[in-house]
């Protein structure tokens, strides 16, 4: 049976990983500066992660949410302590799309309203309401398009105000650093005014931290760079270092009721073991401090390269924008330099999302390769 062909694939077959490196089926080593869409937060095959998951699967890998699972409570407690999100409550699921789906559903339950406000170049997932709130008509099927979503420009405070005052908006959902869309960020004034407008109009403010959370921005959550208090915070990618896990942090003003949300696999024993190990490593290795140091070092070098027209994002969620499309550049980096990077809907942007354990020597390797490829491109242009 063939696979349903929906992914354009590079001709690389990773079979193992260690730290910031992956190794293919031919034994070649690759520097991973993409982390599988920002999923690998503490490095491939981190020993504490491997030990935690191995020990858990050897005892109890799964049981349903109909029983007590102390690991869920431990994960919630550690997440509250390390994130600083005091008094929020945790609902666990399996992915970022599912996290945003539950966030939007909860907002609709709470407010009794159904319309959503989202933003251009935003990406929130591929499921029902989450994909409808994503600014990409190519992945929105007719069944998704039935959702009531208004897409506005980032930084359009007056547009948000006008939509919320119509009285039918249940949620405003926003990435504090856009991921797939190309690392754009709104202003502090925008975020803070939207937060206030939501509170004044019985609308839930949802912080999509699926990609930007878990230390990647230089704080535990990207929204913490601003003076805002989200009603719901969605989390996933870096949460499990590769093990499927997601969740939403829910403000205590939203009351829980039996049956309001539910999941079969969400919060299973293996997922919680993985999630706990990630939090422990982030704390023990001071990885958020490392994010800030490595980000500063990366940006300092990037600013010296004239072909880079703009540096976007923050922390270790960065984008390098050129005046040409980067598809061929990424191929050169993968096939000739053995370095993984990412793309975006902005075809001129190279995304950098390494494990939070990345060091200066890895950044130096990347820039040495990048400078070499850029010089090769320029020589070919002169010859042409």
In this predicted model, what pLDDT tens digit does every residue of 133-142 receive, in sequence order?
999 999 999 9
Q: Are 122 and 96 in contact (CB under 8 A)?
A: no
Q: Are 39 and 241 in contact (CB under 8 A)?
A: yes
User: Can you give the pLDDT at residue 374?
Assistant: 96
Query: How is residue 251 annotated by DSSP?
Result: -
As a whole number, mean pLDDT of residues 18-39 equals 97
370's tokens: 């990048």
Question: Which pLDDT band, with edges at 50, 70 and 90, does 338 fall under?
Answer: very high
CA–CA dist 262, 5 (Å, integer): 31
CA–CA dist 270, 242 (Å, integer): 12
User: Can you give the pLDDT at residue 378?
Assistant: 83
Those residues whose C-beta lies under 8 Å from the C-beta of residue 49, and which sit 6 or more positions away, are 42, 241, 274, 277, 278, 281
CA–CA dist 40, 162 (Å, integer): 40
Q: Which residues face 206 on adjacent strands? A: 173, 232
Q: Are 147 and 87 in contact (CB under 8 A)?
A: no
Can you tell me whether residue 44 is helix, strand or coil?
A: strand
As a whole number, mean pLDDT of residues 264-271 equals 97
Does the structure show a pLDDT above 90 at 300?
A: yes
* Burial of 200 from C-beta contacts in 10 A (0-12 / 13-18 / 19+): exposed
Q: What share of the chain is helix, strand, coil (3-state, %, to 5)?
A: 40, 15, 45
Helix then strand count (H, E) for the chain reads 12, 14
pLDDT tens sequence across 246-260: 999 999 999 999 999
- First-to-last CA distance in the chain? 46
Question: Which pLDDT band, with edges at 50, 70 and 90, does 382 fall under?
Answer: confident
Poorest-confidence range of 187-191, 303-307, 379-383?
379-383
As a whole number, mean pLDDT of residues 258-268 equals 96
pLDDT tens sequence across 210-232: 999 999 999 999 999 999 999 99
As a whole number, mean pLDDT of residues 308-335 equals 97
Does the structure show a pLDDT above 70 at 173?
A: yes
CA–CA dist 348, 108 (Å, integer): 37
CA–CA dist 15, 20 (Å, integer): 14
CA–CA dist 378, 306 (Å, integer): 12
Which is it for strands 317-321 and 349-352: parallel, antiparallel or unpaired?
antiparallel
Beta strands in the chain (DSSP E): 14-18, 21-24, 29-32, 89-93, 115-119, 149-152, 169-175, 204-208, 232-235, 246-250, 310-314, 317-321, 339-340, 349-352
Question: Which pLDDT band, with edges at 50, 70 and 90, does 379 fall under?
Answer: confident
Q: Are 265 and 283 in contact (CB under 8 A)?
A: no
Place of tokens 């897409």: 151
User: Can you give the pLDDT at residue 384?
Assistant: 64
Does the structure show a pLDDT above 90 at 383?
A: no
pLDDT tens sequence across 105-118: 999 999 999 999 99
Those residues whose C-beta lies under 8 Å from the C-beta of residue 365, and which sit 6 or more positions away, are 31, 339
């Amino acid at each position: 049976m063939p696979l349903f062909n929906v992914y354009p694939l590079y001709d690389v077959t990773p079979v193992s990983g260690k730290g910031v490196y992956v190794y293919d089926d031919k034994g070649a080593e690759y520097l991973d500066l993409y982390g599988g869409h920002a999923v690998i937060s503490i490095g491939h095959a981190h020993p504490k992660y491997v030990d935690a998951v191995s020990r858990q699967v050897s005892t109890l890998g799964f049981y349903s949410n109909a029983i007590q699972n102390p690991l869920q409570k431990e994960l919630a407690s550690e997440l509250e302590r390390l994130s600083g999100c005091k008094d929020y409550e945790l609902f666990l699921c399996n992915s970022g799309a599912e996290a945003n789906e539950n966030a939007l559903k909860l907002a609709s339950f709470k407010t009794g309203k159904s319309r959503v406000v989202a933003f251009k170049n935003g990406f929130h997932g591929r499921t029902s309401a989450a994909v409808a709130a994503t600014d990409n008509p190519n992945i929105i099927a007719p069944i998704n398009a039935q959702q009531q979503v208004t897409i506005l420009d980032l930084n359009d405070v007056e547009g948000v105000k006008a939509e919320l005052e119509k009285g039918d908006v249940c949620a405003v959902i926003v990435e504090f650093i856009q991921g797939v869309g190309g690392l754009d960020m709104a202003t502090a004034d925008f975020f803070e005014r939207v937060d206030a407008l939501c509170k004044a109009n019985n609308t839930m403010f949802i912080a999509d931290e699926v990609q930007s959370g878990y230390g990647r921005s230089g704080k535990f959550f990207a929204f913490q760079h601003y003076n805002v208090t989200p009603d719901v915070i969605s989390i996933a990618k870096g949460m499990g270092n590769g093990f499927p896990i997601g969740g939403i942090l829910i403000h205590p003003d939203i009351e829980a009721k039996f049956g309001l949300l539910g999941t079969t696999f969400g919060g299973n024993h293996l997922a919680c073991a993985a999630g706990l190990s990630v939090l422990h490593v982030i704390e023990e290795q001071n990885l958020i401090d490392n994010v800030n140091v490595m980000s500063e070092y990366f940006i300092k070098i990037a600013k010296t390269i004239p072909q880079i027209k703009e540096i976007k994002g923050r922390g270790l969620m960065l984008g390098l924008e050129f005046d040409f499309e980067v598809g061929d550049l990424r191929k050169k980096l993968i096939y000739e330099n053995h370095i993984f990077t990412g793309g975006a809907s902005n075809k001129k942007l190279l995304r950098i999302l390494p494990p939070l354990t990345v060091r200066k020597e890895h950044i130096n390797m990347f820039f040495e390769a990048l400078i070499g490829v850029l010089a090769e491109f320029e020589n070919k242009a002169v010859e042409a």
